[in-house]
Chains A and B, each alone.
Chain A
Amino acid sequence: MNTISLAHGNGGKMMEDLIDNLFLKYLNNDIINKKDDASPVPEIKGVPVISTDTFVVDPIFFPGGNIGKLSICGTVNDLAVTGAIPLYLTVGFILEEGLPIKHLEKIIISMAEVSREANVKIVAGDTKVVERGKGDKIFINTTGVGMIGDKLKLSDENIKLGDKVIINGSIAEHGLAILMERNQMDFSTSIKSDCCTLSDLIVTLLSETNGIKFMRDPTRGGMATVLNEIATRYNVGIEIEEEKVPLGDEIKSLCKILGLDPLYLANEGKVLIIADREKSEKIVDIMRRHPYGRNSSIIGTIVDNNDQQVYLKTRIGGKRIITKLMHDMLPRIC
């Protein structure tokens, strides 16, 4: 049998085979191998941080990754941006009847790879199978536990005027890759999702610098949405310089022709940092030494603005407001 059937989820022999031959084959470690209903983990020294996320991306395979890789990166990154070192993950699968087992295997292999890279252990798992049509191929939930150690802390100073906005590389890659794949806009491009784990980069950064006040991974809604959240939350304005925002040439020209604004497209391997002005150059230097930070750049500044707005200083000197999008992009100009 080479597709998932309802029998894979009924607790019997088939399910056990699936667990042993697929899940445990790739995702094994000293804790999960015990196959207990619940897993004791070693004592955590520091402030524990917990995050959960559910992944339903369509398509499940895309250039640069798949739903499995994404489910690990997503939760690991959510932990990392709080300043925590990710330690453990739990994984829950909802499989739709008919999912090819080799697809599932491919997904699990990349989950294993990427969790090894991020140095996190998958300590508990669950699988359910739903009837054909009641799901969409595969949904994955991951919950992560991390720890904020003594040394790795965000600066507790408030965000203030003059602070800098930093990003670790080219934006819009994930969002564009997914959109193109989903809509079968199949023309030859080399666009790939930037999906990766940021914990190593962030740990390096926090251990070697200070002055980082805030971090967030600009996923859904892209950079524009996160910047607007920051502006509202801290009651500041943000100026972004178009020229400084890393953006691949191909992404740029594709966004133009498709009429998409890269600022609103999702990223899965990016971190936005707000840092003290004085420290920002050094932070960028350190980031650039890391493989996931080669194109790091200071892209903007916290400015005074009583309406908590974000704007883009364009190449030609205009100052375009980057709104919180209420809808998809609706034509606005006359």
Chain B
Amino acid sequence: MKKRRLQLEIEGIVQGVGFRPFIYRLARENNLNGWVLNTSGGVLVEVEGNQKTLEMFIRQIDEESPPLAQITTIKSREVSVREDSSFVIKDSRKTYYTQVQLPPDIAICNDCLHDIMDPTNRRYRYPFTSCVNCGPRFKIIKSLPYDRPRTTMKKFKMCPECNTEYNNPLDRRFHAQPNACPLCGPQLWLKKMSGEKCLTRDPIGLTIDLLKKGNIIAIKGIGGFHLMCDATESDVIANLRTRKRRPDKPLALMMNKLTTVRKYCNVGSMEEEILTGIRRPIVLLDKKGEKLPRNIAPGIRYYGVMLPYTPLHYLLFDKGIEVLIATSGNVSGNPLEYQNGGVFENLKGIADYVLGHNREIYVPVDDSVVRVVGGKKRVIRRARGYVPQPLMVGGLDNGLALGGDQKNTFCFARNKYAFISQYLGDLGNIDNYNNFKLMIDHFKELYKIKPDFVVHDLHPDYQTTYYASFYGDKIGVQHHHAHIASCMAENNIDEKVIGLAFDGTGLGNDGNIWGGEFLICDFKDFKRGGHLNYMKMPGGDMAIKEPWRLAVSYLNRLRYDKADIINLLRIDEVEADIILKMLNKGFNCPETSSMGRLFDTVAALIGLRKRITYQAQAALELESIADNNTEEIYHVSIEEKGQKYVVNTDPMMGGIISDHKKGVKRSIISSKFHNTVIAFTLEMCRLIRHKYGINSVALSGGVFQNKLLLEMLCAGLKEQNFKVYSQAKIPCNDSGLSLGQLAIASNRRKD
């Protein structure tokens, strides 16, 4: 049979996942000669042999590829036969075009876990153990192709033994870039905040002892520092909260194993799978009673829990520790600390000790957060373990969408893929903003992209809009349109939908603050089919931080007098007086149709929460107290004003106030309120379907993080034969905006 030689260009997630050794083994098994190498475009293979074997080889590449690999295309072309005598792995080649997809950072695999737990293994208790199937990737990579010299592992020269593993195509550590051992790899140290090193041969053991004594320790993970402390002592937690200036916001927990998680939380099978999977996000799980200190997650129904994901984490759960607080290493609102240089300065007064090491983190990445709602895994914060994995979305142009200013992500596209950055936080903070700029540059460099245009929100005072002002070609996209487009893009639909955009704050085209929107839209355009009635926000942003102002606003609108208002809300008379004057004079009282504010208003009206200390706190607490056993609803009316349907929530608010005055339990009021929101939303959808003949409904906006609302609304819509789309892979909150922005801008440019 005639010998042929094929050149295969393989694209997808094919670097840092053990792909070349896999090809190597496969070629040897099939007795094919040639070579394989990493390029910035993916992997290039040349093999020669007879037709049949070659076909089999290609089929096997596709079917048997390593667990972390994701092949998107295999292009093959015939080249002339060279008569190679063996199959070899060649050095990487740099090219100027790249389609390569990087793997995210992955939790330690079982094989490596065995290694570190086995006293006879040379990596026994070595916290930087990894292999080709696990360990850090995204956050240590400086440029592509993914090779050791281009990672933060460059400075560690492998010892002979590690080197042998690294060069043996049949070893699990063949070309595993972070490969290291206690002899040659990164080393751990424990230091006091003064920078003084603790003299110990076992920094981990000492750390455990210190944790048990109630210390707060900054521990370097793979994406940054965590602040860890004993999660069973409420005093220690209170201390951490004071130091971190985070009075109420739930703190994430790290638990040693699944059985421990089951002890404190209700864990479904899907949740179990996510907890133990390779990505290891924080999973929001309903509490099973309140066996842990109340100040871990006060006022809400769930805990955020993750299992250990690095060797170091596993080693911390020695000597009987089962649950640790593992919150991000920063002062609330500032970026995650990830460098040895900054930690002693910036976490001074917060941490008591630092457990760190000399492996540099190049890209800071937060823990991801997911929640299972309606039988689907919903990503709420997309970062470690997910980024930079792209999403298949058609029709996107070569632009850069900058997202919103809060929970920021940015997004760019290449061919059929949308690449979305990790969660970058609130860009109103200069350090976060600088990190945002740095990450854009990093991605541009990594993927060799030169965007043709940028896309930004219409809010004139967003930092993202400011960033866009330095670009020539820019496109502004309305906030809620972007939310819905994000949902459409994620679900790969391109048709007219009824878009329910329920969120906190976004600037509308009429200059008001929107957020309870029923849009008629496609990728190109939108029109407001309906919305919640406007209400005044006395003091603008302050009304968001202090929902009692919204309650005053509503009571004033319903003509309650000052004495009644003070009495009902138990507020300070002077403050009430000023707020009422502001309302009556229209002084600094922007109008909003926001659904988030509606939740806030109700929470304040029934005395659940007057002031918040973290975003959406009032709404979360309102959701948490809801008692699912009532089917009652409040009255609302829907009015047709011009071309739009407007939900008049006044009668509902009246009902809530009178229930509250009568002493109806808050849990019942909350539940009735949720029922009402669902009822009027369904009614609005029916009206709009009737008027416009659209049957598909897309749901997006941060309010849909409310599990009760999302589950009941989806069920209700399906019952009425609507086709329902919601977000799962991409957060429904403002982290999802960038994808929607890019989809809209790309479509507009096609005219």
A interface list, Cβ under 8 A from B? 179, 183-187, 256-260, 305, 307, 309, 311, 316-321, 323-327, 329-334
Contact = CB atoms under 8 A, between A and B. Distances in A.
Interface stretch (B56-64, B77-85, B170-178, B536-544): B536-544
Contact of B578 (A258, A311, A325): A258
A320 B615 CA distance: 17
B692 interface: no
A334 B616 contact: yes
B362 interface: no
Contact of A311 (B430, B543, B592): B430
Interface stretch (B391-399, B459-467, B486-494, B741-749): B459-467
A235 to B, nearest CB: 13
Contacts of A329: 461, 540-541, 588
B540 A257 contact: no
Contact of A332 (B431, B541, B582, B585): B541
Most chain A beta-carbon neighbours within 10 Å: one of B581, B596, B733: B581
B554 interface: no
B541 A259 contact: yes
Given A257-B579, A319-B431, A321-B429, A332 B461 contact: yes
Interface in B585-624: 585, 587-588, 590, 592, 596, 615-616
B686 interface: no
13 contacts: A179-B587, A257-B539, A257-B579, A259-B540, A311-B430, A320-B429, A323-B463, A330-B460, A330-B461, A333-B505, A333-B544, A334-B407, A334-B615
Nearest to A303: B430
A258 B577 CA distance: 11
B428 interface: yes
B513 A187 contact: no
B578 A331 contact: no
Interface string B525-554: 000000000000111111111000000000
Given A185-B581, A257-B542, A332-B505, 6 more contacts: A257-B578, A258-B588, A317-B331, A329-B541, A333-B504, A334-B615
Contact of A318 (B331, B539, B544): B331
Contact of B588 (A184, A187, A259, A305): A259
Contacts of A260: 588
B461 A327 contact: yes
Contact of B582 (A258, A309, A319, A325): A258
A323 B503 CA distance: 24
B582 A185 contact: yes
B540 A330 contact: yes
A320 B432 CA distance: 10
Interface size grouping (class) on chain B: 35 or more
B406 A319 contact: no
Given A311-B430, A316-B245, A331-B505, A256 B542 contact: yes
B205 interface: no
Nearest to A254: B578
Contacts of A321: 427-430, 433, 463
Nearest to B426: A333
B99 interface: no
B672 to A, nearest CB: 26
Contact of B702 (A258, A331, A334): A334
B557 interface: no
Given A257-B575, A258-B578, A331 B590 contact: yes
Contacts of B581: 185-187
The interface residues of chain A, by DSSP majority, are classed as loop
B333 interface: yes
B432 to A, nearest CB: 9
B334 interface: yes
Most chain B beta-carbon neighbours within 10 Å: one of A257, A319, A330, A331: A331
B431 to A, nearest CB: 6
B236 interface: no
Contacts of B503: 334
Given A258-B539, A329-B541, A185 B734 contact: no
B352 interface: no
Nearest to B616: A334
B440 interface: no
A304 B216 CA distance: 33
Contact of A259 (B333, B459, B460, B542): B542
B192 to A, nearest CB: 21
A305 B545 CA distance: 30
Contacts of B245: 316-317
Contacts of A183: 585, 587
B507 interface: yes
A260 B540 CA distance: 8
Contact of A331 (B428, B437, B544, B582): B544
B405 interface: yes
Contacts of A305: 430
Per CB-CB distance, the 5 closest pairs between chain A and chain B, nearest first, are A259-B539, A326-B460, A334-B504, A259-B542, A311-B430
Contacts of B430: 305, 309, 311, 319-321
Contacts of B462: 332
A184 B541 contact: no
A307 B437 contact: yes
A26 B513 CA distance: 51
Contacts of A334: 406-407, 503-505, 544, 596, 615-616, 702, 733-734
Given A256-B542, A259-B543, A330-B540, A319 B429 contact: yes
Most chain B beta-carbon neighbours within 10 Å: one of A186, A323, A325, A334: A334
A318 B540 CA distance: 21
B421 to A, nearest CB: 18
Contacts of A311: 430
Nearest to B577: A187
A142 B437 CA distance: 46
B440 to A, nearest CB: 12
B587 A258 contact: yes
A190 to B, nearest CB: 15
A318 B334 contact: yes
A258 B431 CA distance: 28
A317 B333 CA distance: 9
A327 to B, nearest CB: 5
Nearest to B406: A334
B520 to A, nearest CB: 24
A307 B466 CA distance: 9
Contact of A333 (B331, B406, B429, B467): B406
A325 B406 contact: no
A188 B595 CA distance: 36
Contact of B538 (A259, A307, A309): A259
Most chain A beta-carbon neighbours within 10 Å: one of B503, B544, B596: B544
A331 to B, nearest CB: 5
Contacts of B615: 333-334
B331 A332 contact: no
Contacts of B734: 334
Given A307-B437, A321-B463, A332 B590 contact: no
A127 to B, nearest CB: 34
Contacts of A320: 428-430
A186 B545 CA distance: 25
Contacts of A319: 334, 429-431
A184 B585 CA distance: 8
A307 B590 CA distance: 30
A331 B592 contact: yes
Interface string B426-447: 0111110100010000000000
Interface in B449-503: 459-463, 466-467, 503
Contact of B459 (A186, A257, A309, A332): A332
A311 B537 CA distance: 26
Contacts of B463: 321, 323
A333 B616 CA distance: 11
Contacts of A186: 581
A321 B428 CA distance: 5
Interface string B549-586: 00000000000000000000000001101110110010
